[in-house]
A and B are shown apart, each in its own frame.
Chain A
Amino acid sequence: MLLVPNLLFAETSKILTIYTYDSFAAEWGPGPAIKIAFEKDCECNVEFVATSNAATLLAKIQLEGSLSNADIVLGLDQNFIAEASATELFIEHQIKPSLNITWEDNFFTPYDYGFFSFIYDKTKLIKPPKSMAELIERDDIKIIVQDPRTSTPGLGLLLWIKSLYGSDAAKIWKKLNLKILTYTPGWSEAYGMFLKNEADMVLSYTTSPAYHLMYENESKYKSASFSEGHYMQIEVAGILRSSKNYKLAQKFMNFISSKEFQIEIPKKNIMYPIVNIDLPVAYQALTKPTNGLILSSGMVTKFKKDWINEWLNHLQ
């Protein structure tokens, strides 16, 4: 019943192709609801094409180059925007949304953000560390983190340590390494191992406990608040130069900061929205870090290799 009008409609209307990562487009992610909401008054069809994770998004775009079908890429984070802009595959979006975070970029606009954090099980870890400094000094805690070479949170921790300790980062890593049970290639392996009680804490997001609360009615998972502040991740979207639907893409870029779009973010992407809306109840139990740490994208792009090598060399 529903399919028939949709099919008829498809022939006459434009298709907006959005490249994103899988958990955004998946049937349990925010993608499907956002598609319906946007299609209501765009006279178009939204089509998500998903890569297995955010990191491969830029690789895919670069491999496809100007032949890409994509109009919009949604899912890169702030660490990649300097690199992405340098490919010259993106075009300025020319929109000015009002956001609850500070943001200035001509090519990309944010759609959500979050803070990296260590998650623990409060029934097992009675005295969680209150700061990064404490974690580094404690010798009764085992943590699982991700490899900064292959994972976004892993890179996040590397930058977190760098932003806190600067040139002392290498020394800190040596100490921190004693607490690290293992480095996994991606977030999933680490979090899966944590849920199997392999370690006391796992590197994830401050919002992770909200998932367990919303979908599993489980309140034992907590995020450890660190007094030095938490490193931030801001996820962004941009329009491709090769897009044949610039006006429509721009309309979608404006739609990102609408309430209909943003309402899906905390519920289904388990991140914070970039405009002020009522958050789900589960979020009220979370402590939102007040001092988000962030290094500029230009700096990250410039020094990322050096920092990763520094990390590698001091662990061997």
Chain B
Amino acid sequence: MGTLFAHLLFKHRYIYGINIFTNLLSITFVIPTIIIVLGIISVYGSSGYLSSIFKFIDYELGSFIYGIKGIILAHVLLNFPFVTRILFQSLQDISEDEWSLAKHNGLSNFVVFKTIEWPAIKKNIPTVLTMVFILCFMSFAPVLIFGGGPNYSTLEVAIYQALLFEYDFSKAINLSFVQLIVCLIFLSMFLLHNKVSFFVLSENRKSIKNSYSLNYVHEYFLIFIFFIFAFSPLLVIITEGISSPLLVKTLLSNSFLKSLGYTFIISIGSGFLSTVLTLGLLSFGKEFFVKKSLKKFVLFETYIYLLLVFSPVLISSGFFILFRKYFNILSPGLGLVILINAIFTIPLSYSLIKSSFYKLFFEQDFLSKSIGLTGLNRFLLIEWPTIKIPVITAFIVTSIISASDLVIISFFGTNNFSTLSLLIFRLMGSYRFEESQVVSFLFLLYCFIYFIISYKLLTKLKLRII
């Protein structure tokens, strides 16, 4: 589904606002699951919008979202925007010459897709599948809520329970190992098939000149449907937030403003740190390319994706113990929250940047070497201009993910040190559902503004050799 959507979006990317839209796709993925879950219920629940539409035609929809269907629906909704985003990125890396060649040869839509787009998409599929698999595997609240019963609980539930309810640390660690092994098997299955093949004609990437046309009406319609599907839970949050009488009061409340401040610091800090760490890892990874040792490269990638596999609850408590035992610090606070978030988001920024980065490396490595460009100069002259956009995207995505984290902050946060997502959860914990809806809306707004501003500022940023 992500593939189809990415294809359509890419084809029609001349439509005004579509670029913003694709970038917004990353947001649906990163806002706290609890918000999405309640959003999904508002739309698809037994008293949701969908069932009231069906009531018009006298059809009782009932609660169809519980059980395995619900779990799958929720995870599709949670993950498919992100999949679309990554695949869209890989389509953008196809050079203009390939397109014009296709056009000259008069290839049909399907053939174009098969020969040009699919190869570009395919190379990212193992990565995407692995990430989605792991994310679903680690999923906690949506599985419990939509599962409708404990038969569907995941290992993550068991870890959470062992750690926070049974205080059984060794059990939690054992369970994590099981989790780790299952994910490793899956990872190796997919990443070993990850053939690294790049063929490129040129780096001419100006956009093709498609334009609005009536021939595409059905495709516009499909985009619209996808749009509604992807954003339905968010649209509900936005309408509920805006229409709430508590909007202004909440906006000016002390707890909101304070959380907003912390959220902002964590966003910037974690986003920056994560992107820098990822760039470091990437330049490390390209060494494996140089030596043409694919096995090592796969192993290297496995390490990175393994980060996704560790239960955040376990890691947070691990850090907690570490700091207590060795540094005698009980409230490590802001800095640590930023650090842990940055580490956790590395796999995401890695997968966002890597396709552009490695492709560029393949194309330009020989040239750069022959004219003796190395180190920082090379990075600034050759790499930065090309990977700038994915890097910025990665920065924004990791920022917002860190801002929406609930596990890490709930371990280290206090009532004086809270982020917006924690505030949403705290409000819900004290009957203040309406206020929490407002904060959810404001949080979305924050993500949006953060997104636009950093995108605008960073694309203007020019790095020069001093």
Contact = CB atoms under 8 A, between A and B. Distances in A.
A53 B150 contact: no
B34 A196 contact: no
Interface residues of A, number: 60
Given A28-B430, A182-B147, A189-B141, 12 more contacts: A23-B429, A26-B415, A29-B430, A51-B410, A55-B165, A68-B330, A150-B157, A181-B148, A182-B149, A185-B145, A185-B157, A215-B431
B429 A188 contact: yes
A206 B252 CA distance: 33
Nearest to B148: A182
Interface stretch (A56-64, A97-105, A110-118, A223-231): A56-64
Contacts of B166: 305
Contact of B145 (A22, A68, A182, A197): A182
Contacts of A193: 38, 41, 45, 145
A198 B46 contact: yes
A122 interface: no
Contacts of A195: 433
Contacts of A29: 430
A69 interface: yes
Contacts of A177: 149
A22 B409 CA distance: 13
A12 interface: no
Given A149-B161, A181-B148, A182-B148, A188 B428 contact: yes
Query: What are the 6 closest A-B residue pairs judged by CB atoms, nearest first?
Result: A197-B47, A52-B410, A188-B428, A23-B430, A50-B415, A25-B415
Contact of A55 (B41, B164, B425): B164
Contacts of B146: 182
Interface in A298-316: 305, 311-312, 315-316
Contacts of B161: 149-150
A253 to B, nearest CB: 21
A188 B425 contact: yes
Contacts of A186: 429
Contacts of A305: 166
A141 B324 CA distance: 49
Given A25-B415, A270-B431, A64 B141 contact: no
Nearest to A67: B324
A195 B436 CA distance: 13
Given A69-B330, A196-B38, A58 B141 contact: no
Interface in B40-57: 41-42, 45-48
A197 B321 CA distance: 42
A23 B432 CA distance: 11
Interface in A182-214: 182-189, 191-193, 195-199, 208, 211-212
A288 interface: no
A150 B160 contact: yes
B147, B149, B328, B422 — which one has the most chain A CB atoms within 10 A of its CB? B149
A192 B47 CA distance: 13
Contact of A147 (B37, B47, B150, B321): B150
B62 to A, nearest CB: 10
A182 B432 CA distance: 22
30 contacts: A23-B426, A27-B255, A49-B414, A55-B165, A56-B410, A63-B317, A63-B320, A63-B321, A65-B324, A147-B144, A149-B161, A150-B144, A150-B157, A150-B165, A181-B63, A182-B148, A183-B144, A183-B147, A183-B148, A185-B157, A186-B429, A188-B34, A188-B425, A189-B145, A196-B48, A208-B431, A215-B431, A270-B431, A311-B150, A315-B149
B140 A189 contact: no
Given A53-B429, A58-B167, A150-B161, A181 B150 contact: no
A44 interface: no
A48 interface: yes
A82 interface: no
A180 interface: yes
B369 to A, nearest CB: 52
Contact of A28 (B153, B425, B432): B432
Contacts of B321: 63
A185 B313 CA distance: 15
Contacts of B37: 189
A175 interface: no
Contacts of B432: 28
B413 interface: yes
B243 interface: no
Nearest to A268: B430
Nearest to A57: B164
Interface of A: 22-23, 25-29, 31, 48-53, 55-56, 58-59, 62-65, 67-69, 83, 142, 147, 149-150, 177, 180-189, 191-193, 195-199, 208, 211-212, 215-216, 270, 305, 311-312, 315-316
A52 B425 contact: yes
Nearest to B258: A27
A177 B46 CA distance: 18
Nearest to B254: A27
B66 interface: yes
B151 interface: yes
B265 interface: no
Contacts of B387: none
B76 interface: no
B339 interface: no
Contacts of A147: 144, 150, 153, 157
Contacts of A22: 415, 426, 429
A197 B41 CA distance: 10
A199 B330 CA distance: 42
B426 A52 contact: yes
Nearest to A155: B165
Contacts of B116: none
Nearest to A316: B151
A64 B324 contact: yes
Given A189-B141, A198-B47, A312-B150, A181 B66 contact: yes
B343 interface: no
Contacts of A191: 428, 431, 433
Nearest to B426: A22
Contacts of B413: 52
A208 B430 CA distance: 10
Contacts of A197: 45-47
A215 B41 CA distance: 25
B235 to A, nearest CB: 15
Contacts of A311: 150
Interface string B231-259: 00000000000000000000000110000
B163 interface: yes
Contacts of B140: 185
A52 B419 CA distance: 12
Contacts of A51: 410
Contact of A48 (B41, B145, B415, B430): B415
